[in-house]
Amino acid sequence: MEYQALAKEILSHVGGKENITSLVHCATRLRFKLKEMKKADAEGLKANPGVIMVVESGGQFQVVIGNHVHDVWQAVRNEAGLTDDTPVAAGDDKGSLFGRMIDIISGIFTPFIGILAASGILKGLLALAVVCGWLTTTSGTYKIWFAASDALFFFFPLILGYTAGKKFGGNPFITMAIGGALTHPLMISAFEAGQASGAVSETFLGIPVTFINYSGSVIPIILAAWVSCWLEKQGNRFLHASIKNFFAPLFCIAITVPLTFLVIGPVATWLSQMLAHGYQAIYTLAPWLAGAALGALWQVCVIFGLHWGVVPLMINNLAVFGQDTMLPILLPAVLGQVGATLGIFLRTRDGRQKMLAGSAIAAGIFGITEPAVYGVTLPLRRPFIFGCVAGAIGGAIVGFSNSHVYSFGFPNVFMLAQMIPPGGVDATLWGGIVGSVVALTLSCVLTFVAGLPKTPVAAEPVDVVPAKANEILAPMNGSVLALDQVPDTTFASGLLGEGVAIIPADGRVVAPFAGEVASLFETKHAIGLLSDNGIEVLIHVGIDTVKLDGKPFIAHVQVGDKVKAGDLLLEFDREAIIAAGFDLATPIIISNSDSFGGISTVASSSVQAGMPLLAVAG
């Protein structure tokens, strides 16, 4: 499997399968809930090149992976033997109330965050198409695409019923059925009839029922799911094994559904409206200040994984008001970090840093800022601060303009389409555009001018040990691997020559002796050297990396250049190579082995660049 090695590494550093209570993933990170957090080795995991960052927050052990997080999540599940039906050990639920809340919210919403964002984007694009005159709301094309974009939101109680049921430890199909009851056509018709008559027209066992339209609602089904899961556990505890499989679900739906319509639903709806109106009251007092605060602090919340705490509030605003003012403010916060990363990309002369910045910009435009924050702006500090400052200024402009979104989604460039009001383009949309552009431009300019040290940081020098005659020094730091263990039969068989391999610990290749560059592949993944003593060496970074077309590689020499031991030859992006699914094992081959009496490895299991690696017998 492509990510099997990374999955094994992650499992070993979280304390093994037996220490995992639950595992979900969001857009970029694995979210573990562990039985014992002290068994996890965060520092050891941070050293893995396939891991961007490790964060312990909200009662979760969060492993930031990047855009390919789903593949890694699947690999971890496969490696640990976890399935949807696998019972997990009960964890320690002690901890802060806030931490438990974040864990519950992320566990309920993260499984469908991708389709949630996609639905919101499609809604925004449809609004754009209508404003531009490309579609009409009466056309069949519009209706079909609208149904595709609106289905998730309309049937929110079903989706949340399933994920909430799993999170609360019950049968998710029972809670999904309860969500279905809330959106059943009979209940929708009863609600509409009540709206038309203005009076309560139905009862349950003589008790008057106030019907509410629960389509698109969030809090009622979550509370109902909790009640259902509690009832299910009690039923499984007291009922005989021969009948509990169908009587426990029977009690759950027979009790929870009417209880939801009578008590849980009205109370939760009242709570939803109180939250929405409470936020709106605060926002109305000083919208520019709310925008500045959210724009400045949003990325800080993302770093610690605390941003999930406000996601239900955004969705609740959309359910109550049909629009939300919080999401537009977050777009400048995201673009502030993208702009800072762009400033680094334009300013830096460091090849590896430019490569990291380029890939992070692409991800950031689509709302994924972790690669930019963890890999580029936060390590340099000032760019991150500039991004937050620009996000605050842009957020203040958006807040002052009273910009809204009309569907949920990730804060990314597509959100501009989601800001289009139903009546057409107005000043609120332009405020959102101006605030976003200001954040992007300001952070880029500030970072370009003052975000990087004026004097480039010199590469760490390589301590070169004086080599003996016909001795080859290590061209990189890393773990030594016997050539026959390389996962490529051509190298492992010795057909290309004798030698050894190194699994690199960083992204630098230096000259192993004094000589000249004999060849350099166009894709820069391999280089041939000729020593002053006539030894021909091939250094091939990774296996099958020729398929990457040179993207992760930067050459600092060209054919014919004279080099001395320790000179920098190549740089490469280890993370990009691993993310692309290629093995990093780097063969160091003596191409003209037949001209010598023998080749022997003199290094131990690990080696530093510039230390003895191979001895060539005359």
Interatomic CA distance for residues 274 and 281, integer angstroms: 10
- If one compares 462 and 508, the residue with the highest pLDDT of the two is 508
Chain segment 554-565, per-residue pLDDT in tens: 999 989 899 998
What average pLDDT score do residues 149-157 get?
Answer: 88
- Contact criterion met (CB below 8 Å) for 401 and 434: yes
Nearest to 330 by CA among 304, 311, 358: 311
How far apart are the C-alpha atoms of 109 and 124, rounded to whole Å?
21
Q: Give rounded-to-5 percent helix, strand, coil for the chain.
A: 55, 15, 30
Show which residues are catalytic. Answer: 26
Region of residue 224 (left: phi > 0; alpha: psi -120 to 50; beta: else):
alpha
| pLDDT for the residue numbered 31 | 82
- Confidence class for position 455, pLDDT limits 50, 70, 90: very low
Task: Please choose, from the candidates 370, 304, 309, 305, the residue with its C-alpha nearest in 3D space to the C-alpha of residue 334.
Answer: 370
Q: Would you state the pLDDT for residue 90?
A: 43
pLDDT tens-digit readout, 89-137: 444 455 556 667 767 777 788 788 778 878 888 888 888 888 888 988 8
The CATH number of 3-83, from 3.30.70.100, 3.30.1360.60, 3.90.25.10, 3.40.50.300, is: 3.30.1360.60
- Yes or no: say if 160 and 268 are a contact pair by the CB < 8 Å rule: no
pLDDT at residue 184 is higher than 80: yes
Provide the CATH topology of domain 471-617. Glucose Permease (Domain IIA) (2.70.70)
Q: What is the pTM of this model?
A: 0.60
Q: What is the largest CA-CA distance in the chain?
A: 102
pLDDT at residue 594, as a whole number: 84
Q: Are 265 and 212 in contact (CB under 8 A)?
A: yes
Comparing C-alpha atoms, which of 349, 551, 541 is closest to residue 452?
Answer: 349
* Predicted local confidence at residue 457, as pLDDT: 42
Q: Which stretches of 286-422 are DSSP H helices?
A: 287-303, 311-321, 326-347, 351-365, 370-372, 378-380, 382-400, 415-418
pLDDT digits (tens, 9 = 90+) for 277-320: 888 888 888 899 989 998 898 888 877 666 766 777 888 888 78
Write the pLDDT tens digit of every residue in 575-591. Answer: 888 888 888 999 999 98
Give CA–CA dist 323/320, Å, rounded.
Answer: 8
Domain-wise residue ranges, the chain: 3-83, 110-273, 286-451, 471-617
pLDDT band, residue 167 (cuts 50/70/90)? confident
For the chain, percent of residues with pLDDT exceeding 70: 90
Confidence band, pLDDT 50/70/90 cuts, at residue 173: very high
